[in-house]
Amino acid sequence: MLGKRSKQRGLFDADHLHIDFVGCDTFYGFLASQRDQLFKDELFAAIYCADNGRVSVPPSMLATALLLQTYEGVSDEEAKARADYDLRWKVALGIGIEDRPFAKSTLQVFRAQLVLHERMRALFQESLRYARESGYQKKRKIKAVLDTSNILGRGAVKDTYNLLAEGIVKLIRVFADLMGIEPENWATEHDLIRYFGSSIKGEATIDWDDAKARQKFLNGIVADADRLLETARETMGCYGEESDERKRVVEAAELLGQLLLQDVERKPGVAELKAGVSRNRIVSVADPEMRHGRKSKAKRFDGHKAAVAVDGESQLITAATVLGGNAPDKEQAMALVKETEENAEVEVEETIGDCAYGDGKTRQEFAEANRKLVAKVRGRPNRKHFPKEDFRIDLETKTCRCPAGQECRVLVRKGKQTDYEGKDIQLYAFQFDREVCEACSLRSECVAGRSGNGRTVSLHPQEALLQEAREFQKSEAFLPYRKMRQVVEHRIGRLMQLGVRQARYFGRAKTLFQLLMAATVANLTLVATKMGLIRGRYGRKDNFCPPLSIIMALAIVANGWSLPKPGSWI
């Protein structure tokens, strides 16, 4: 049942007695003074029973503890210890010096309930509500700036042999749990105990330079996986369609089957490793939602992507989500804009992004939604022939003029392309006459290919939108937007300071919780600093707590106490 905090503060609470010592202008003092305004227990009523059960620890206190945990980047166990013994935490939580407010499991269950009931955005939305009510965010029309950054996954990334082995072990554990025996015992009975070593590949006694030995080793793993999948099909028949037991078997079996499909190519009588990397490849059994991603051609990562929207003027993070590591940056662009309007209760009049958001499909999606998107069109690599941008294309008259001044009116079909809604769009291109191109003095700089072909200039399905964007980015009016993009980069940098670069949890949902908590802390510290409620950069300069020995020495000097004789305390 929902527990509630009393609005009346106790005479012996830490924030009443020691807030001056901790500092009113620190983040801890800020949380203490704004505790009643930031989080209310009723905000979390949906995850508690209304009229039955033991009274819970007030969720507003647990929410504050989660903020402090994110602010300091500590584990659940350390968060519990600091709530018990750290004066700064006690001031922020508003508890007595001798109080031990919650158990580690209580904090973990509260976090799990927020994720399970999809209430993790509630804390983040409260930071935006506070920004409005405090007067920091005043405008109701904003420019939303979008960007992404990579998050390193929590799960261990393994090669194909060990990845298949972990998939096999996971399915074995499900079978063993259903039978009520130890996984190692079940594996021993079915001649699969070798998969419970430290590494199936590391413990293999084969010559890895011998191709036939490698193939035989792989065939043995694939045969064991096939045998387990057959056992899974038989086991599923023993349980109902909607039973939890069947769902567990299906989940583990589907994962193992996917690992086989993505990495193994089956040929008559043998199995071989696939060449290259499969699309959407699973890289970790511990966290199947992790993916291979690239920050650039040279930098690769394994994990997820944090996608955020930031108010270009107030610098508040207004929306955040987690994408797959291999997802394009633009994937949730429109969703982030709509979430911004819902979370911050504003109207997004313009959306700003880098060239990752500047493709034709994204522009068309925004144009059809009657929204303005400002993003640079991706440039073309330097080539020895004239690029498309050197040709003057008039879509109204359906003409194309080349750098030599020749005009073309011939449009030919060039296949089809799928738009963002999955519909097929007919593609067209201007085809210059080959006789005109052969006689042109600029032919060698314009036409690539054998003699006799004229220049072809393809039309993009969203050619008009791209032309408009290119003209705008060449003008002086584009410069303020270029500078505004730095705002989102700074905010992402702040999220990285708060530990978002490395996922603390397995799975995309829990990683989203981590991102939203960091965004909440980033917003609150920004508002408090800008409004002069905390001093220093995010209140960190005042976080120093003197060691106990220094405090005792100062007390001895101030009170004129005499030091005890050496050995008298033994």
Q: What is the three-class DSSP state of 429?
A: strand
Q: Check: CB of residue 264 under 8 Å from CB of residue 218.
A: yes
Q: In 282-391, at which residue ranges do the beta strands (DSSP E only) sit?
A: 291-294, 300-311, 317-324, 347-353, 373-375
Q: What is the three-class DSSP state of 467?
A: helix
Digit-coded pLDDT (tens) for 504-539:
999 999 999 999 999 999 999 999 999 988 886 565
Domain annotation covers residue 228:
yes
State yes or no: pLDDT of 544 exceeds 50: no
State yes or no: pLDDT of 433 exceeds 80: yes
Residues 6+ apart with CB under 8 A from 311: 137, 142, 143, 144, 145, 318, 340, 344, 346
Domain annotation covers residue 506:
no
**Which tokens belong to 255?**
């994962």
Does residue 435 sit in the same domain as residue 487?
Answer: no
Residues 6+ apart with CB under 8 A from 546: none
pTM of the model as a whole? 0.87
Digit-coded pLDDT (tens) for 44-97:
888 887 777 777 888 999 999 999 999 999 999 999 999 999 999 999 998 888
Does residue 302 sit in the same domain as residue 447?
Answer: no
In angstroms, the CA 506 to CA 174 distance is 19
The domain of 257 spans 160-273
CB atoms within 10 A of CB 311: 24
State yes or no: pLDDT of 546 exceeds 50: no
Domain annotation covers residue 1:
no
Does residue 210 sit in the same domain as residue 323?
Answer: no
Does residue 180 sit in the same domain as residue 303?
Answer: no
Per residue in 34-58, is it b (16+ CB within 10 Å) or e — as a string?
bbeebbbbebbeebbeeeeeeebbb
Report the chain's mean pLDDT, rounded to a whole number: 88
Does residue 235 sit in the same domain as residue 170?
Answer: yes
Digit-coded pLDDT (tens) for 286-335:
999 999 998 888 889 999 999 999 999 999 999 999 999 999 999 999 99
Digit-coded pLDDT (tens) for 266-283:
988 888 998 888 888 999
Domain annotation covers residue 298:
yes
Domain boundary among 273, 302, 329: 273
State yes or no: pLDDT of 565 exceeds 70: no
Residues 6+ apart with CB under 8 A from 433: 408, 410, 454
Q: How many domains does the chain have?
A: 4
User: Which residue stretches of 75-119 are H helix?
Assistant: 76-85, 87-93, 104-116
Digit-coded pLDDT (tens) for 146-191:
999 999 999 999 999 999 999 999 999 999 999 999 999 999 999 9
Does residue 304 sit in the same domain as residue 428?
Answer: no
Does residue 333 sit in the same domain as residue 418?
Answer: no
